[in-house]
Structure 1
Amino acid sequence: MADRRILVDLLGFTGSRGGTETYVRELLPRIANLLPGTRFAALTGRAGAHRVSAFFPGHVQTVPWVGADPATWALGAVAATDLLARRGRADLVWAPANFGPVFRGVPRVVTVHDAIYDEVPGGLAQRAQRAVTSTLMRRSARTADRVLTVSHAAADSIGRFLAVPAERVSVVHNGSSEPRPVDDPRGILSSFALPAGRPLVLSVGNRMPHKNFPGLLEALATIAPAARPVTVVAGSRLPDPLAGDVARLGLERDVILPGWVSDEQLEALYQAADLYVCPSLAEGFGLPVVDALRRRVPVLAHDVPVLREVGGDAAHYADATDAAIFGAALTAALRAPADDDARAEAQEWAARFTWDSAAEATAEVLESVRRGARR
């Protein structure tokens, strides 16, 4: 019988929350292999139960009153996680999706991916909606035994905005996924109706304000129509909230909004793309930047510390808050494409970020907190 028990709080897992869910899907099976004497259990809501069961290396318990909405997720984290951890005699709780319990109880590690709600608060309505989440994140981080985060830039933000002492924050970079080339990328993308003979720009992400996709569209509008690339902005429900900006700026012939795309379609888009663009104002890590570089796709990113941390000298940077500057940088990147040597160096840089190394470092943090709590 296992003598170590870790409860993983996956109450917010729905299958549609992007990078934080990639994080747990990639790490958990690897961590289980690294800690063979540990029994893992997961808490999840009814919206994510079957998705969590598909990858989780242990027992999955569904809390039926937790749905896909943030309100019941937050309530579950506050009211249920520590209680069920005690009942299950867990040695440790790991909350990998920004917040968990807000009171001290079973020893706990929380992964705070970013402090974006405080860095880029958005408009008045968005600030009101985020106030509760931001408060819970702050309280959860301050009461955790250890905070994990995914970049040094995120660690700095957590210190400034969440007031967590630096000695309780551990930085473990995310990994990147290995390229899985497809045989016929244009065929896989046939439903996108990509026009032939024009450069293709790719950008991916949800439509939260910090992603700054309206800023990317404004930059595209500064480029003369004859020189304007076709730009695919994937990663949203349909109808896409960006559709109004596309129409307002007269970019209907230049911008494709396909919504969420499959893994195969995303690989095809990377293969077809001439340039990946990341206009984000803030990120915890910036995983698509690394994924693009690992696929030898040149990258243009907004010039902020976190994107320089993950993109290094392999990417190009410009101010995405200035449409003219970012549009000019985008045009310049397309006119002077990277040669094979530059692409190979970028791929080598990005290949340093692996999920195997992330799992090893994360397992060390979990074990360190667990051992310290049992002394």
Structure 2
Amino acid sequence: MRLLFDARYIRTDFHDGISRYSAELAAAVAAVAPERGVQVVYLISDERQRAFLPPGAAVLPIHAPTSWREPFTALRLNRHRPDVVFSPMQTMGSLGRRFRLILTLHDMIYYRHRTPPRELPAPIRLGWRLFHLSYLPQRIALNAADVVATVSETSKRQFAAVRLTKRPVVVIHNAPQRLAALLQTGSVVVPGTQNLVYMGSFMPYKNVETLVRAMASLPGRTLHLLSRISPARRADLEALAPDGTDVVFHSGVTDEQYAALLADRAVLVSASLDEGYGLPLAEALALGVPAVVTDMPIFREVAGDGARYAPGTDPDAFAAAVRSLDDPAEYARTVAAGTAHIARFSWARSAGILLDTVAGLAR
């Protein structure tokens, strides 16, 4: 059985969510495909993407997913006679395909927040906005596949609520990277609530304002904002910071620095008002770090009882949830619950679900 795995969304500078999902799932699939009798070939559009694939992986270079050729991708792939093609996105052209196709839609967040990624070319950004004005283009794209994949049960329910596709939807879960492996030798997680760690963008719906305002009720603690931020956005948040509070803008960190900050008496925090998954939350729980996050379905799916929940627009409630973890027994209980809950999400399990789906389609 021949599977073409679309690895063209792997970034060669730093991972975003789609890039990490692609790279981690690609590696997990490669580990188990031989015993399943599956030959995997990875589609790439940049030779540098080879470095992010398993050693010795077979690759097929084709155009970039932003190329004008993308609507005609299936015609090119037909020549290589795949049984099944899997893409971690939903934009691959299916016109004239002679193979089974699995397309992925991670979430519906861009229907609620239509701002496209800034690094995309201007024509692509315009098309992105137009695409998300109606469900119709998405329905056409997804119904052209045999199976639609997504990363959470929450997303699957949202698809069903608006009848986004007639195709079967399979959940191939996202999973956390293992930050423990990035800690310095001999380092361990130090329990505590001294440091509040936020990893994520500063787009409006991320609602970082609530985290900054909550610091007024959390004296003596530090809020660490890890991601890159524009000077204008930083100035806006600095103006909100209550006098005497400690808010640190890191303006980008490595994975190793991220792991070290989470391991140092930290609580992962997010007051986001909307999420597709919440990978930093999963990563914190896997490291043995509790979280305080917005009370919404996707965060409850990812964290279970491994987090404390608060309304996203209530800084006082966020602060109270953080303070509840000052109790050593509550802290230990939350960490244990989170560790047990997040163990159900693994790349090996997700790879197995994908290959089961591939086998079903090939039959």
The answer, yes or no, to whether TM exceeds 0.5 is: yes
| 2:294 paired residue number | 302
Q: Which amino acid aligns with 2:71?
A: V
Distance in 1, matches of 2:96 and 2:151, equals: 23
- Structure 1 pair 210–256 and aligned structure 2 pair: CA distance change class (3 A): same
Deviation track 1:218-254 (CA, whole Å, cap 9, x = no partner) reads 444xx25x71631122233x54663122222146962
SS in 2 for 1:6: strand
Counterparts of 2:129 and 2:232, CA distance in 1: 22
CA distance in 1, matches of 2:161, 2:45: 32
TM-score (norm 2): 0.81
**SS of aligned partner of 1:32:** helix
Aligned mate of 1:279, from 271, 283, 301? 271
Q: Do structure 1's residue 144 and structure 2's residue 145 form an aligned pair?
A: yes
Partner of 2:61: 62
Deviations 1:131-166 (A, max 9, x none): 24537654322211101111111111223346114x
Residues matched between the structures, number? 342
Is 1:203 aligned to residue 194 of structure 2? Answer: no
- Judging changes above 3 Å, is the alpha-carbon distance between structure 1 residues 74 and 356 closer, same or farther for their aligned structure 2 residues? same
Q: 2:255 aligns with which of 242, 258, 263?
A: 263
Structure 2 counterpart of 1:193:
none
Within-5 A mapping of 1:242-257: 242-250=233-241, 254-257=246-249
Normalised to the residue count of structure 1, the TM-score between the two structures is: 0.79
Contact 1:303 1:320 survives alignment (8 Å): yes
Aligned counterpart for 2:224 among listed residues 222, 232, 250: 232
Which residue identity does 2:112 align to in structure 1? E
The amino acid that maps onto 1:13 is I
Q: Do 1:198 and 1:230's aligned partners in 2 also have CA atoms closer than 8 Å?
A: no
- Determine the C-alpha separation between the residues in 2 that align with 1:50 and 1:25: 13
Structure 2 residue aligned with 1:119: 112
- Aligned-pair RMSD on alpha carbons? 3.2
How far is the alpha carbon of 1:60 from its aligned partner? 2.7
3-state SS, counterpart of residue 147 of structure 1: strand
- Structure 2 unaligned regions, length at least 5: none
Secondary structure of 2:66's partner? helix
Contact 2:196 2:267 in 1 (8 A): yes
CA–CA distance in structure 1, aligned partners of residues 292 and 280 of structure 2: 12
Are the aligned partners of 2:268 and 2:292 in contact in 1 as well (CA < 8 Å)?
yes
**1:22 correspondence with 2:50:** no
- Aligned-pair CA distance for 1:11: 3.0
Going from structure 1 to structure 2, the CA distance change for 1:274 and 1:242 (only over 3 Å counts) comes to same
User: Percent of aligned positions with the same letter in both sequences?
Assistant: 26
Identify the residue that residue 174 of structure 1 maps to in structure 2: 174
SS in 2 for 1:232: strand
The alpha-carbon distance between structure 1 residues 170 and 296, as it changes in their structure 2 partners (threshold 3 A), is same
Shift of 1:198: 8.7
